[in-house]
Amino acid sequence: MLCPYCRTDLPAGALRCSACTSWLPDRPSTREWRRAREGRMVAGVARGLANHYAVPVAAVRLLVVLTTVLGFWGLPVYLLLWWLMPVEPELPRPVAAPVQPTAP
C-alpha cells in the first residue's frame, strides 16, 4: 500500500502514513454479517456466514443441521441470526437502452 501524498510504502490496513502523518483516503473495508440475496435456501443466513468467513456453504448448513439435531440450539440461533442479520443491499440492475425501430 502506498501513501498517495508522499509515496511511502505502508503496511496493509494502515489508516495513517507514518512518514507524512496524513490520513489515508481509502480505509480498509469492514466485512459485515449480511444475509445473502442469491443462493439461499431459506433465509440466506448460512450463505451469508459462509461468505463472511470464506468457508463452503455446505459446511455451514451441515453445522446448523447437526447442532439442531444433536443439541437443538442450532434452530434458535439460526432464527435469531435471521432476525438480526440485515439482507445484503441489492445491486443496481443495468438499464437496457431503448430499442429504436428501423425503417424498412
Q: Is residue 72 part of a domain?
A: yes
Q: Residue 60 sits in which domain range?
A: 45-84
Q: Is residue 67 part of a domain?
A: yes
How many domains are contained in the chain? Answer: 1
Q: Is residue 16 part of a domain?
A: no
Q: How far is CA 80 from CA 47, 51, 72, in A?
A: 15, 18, 14
Q: Is residue 79 part of a domain?
A: yes
Q: Is residue 21 part of a domain?
A: no
Q: Would you call 9 helix, strand, or coil by DSSP? A: strand
pTM: 0.56
What tens digit of pLDDT does each residue of 35-75 get?
A: 777 777 888 888 888 888 888 989 999 999 999 999 889 88
Mean pLDDT to the nearest integer, 73-84: 90
Mean pLDDT to the nearest integer, 73-90: 86
Q: Is residue 8 part of a domain?
A: no
Q: Is residue 92 part of a domain?
A: no
pLDDT value of position 28: 45
Q: Say how far apart CA 36 and CA 104 lie, in whole Å.
A: 48
Q: Is residue 39 part of a domain?
A: no
Q: Say how far apart CA 18 and CA 40 lie, in whole Å.
A: 44
Q: Say how far apart CA 37 and CA 55 lie, in whole Å.
A: 18
Q: Angle at which helices 45-53 and 74-84 pack, to 10 degrees?
A: 80
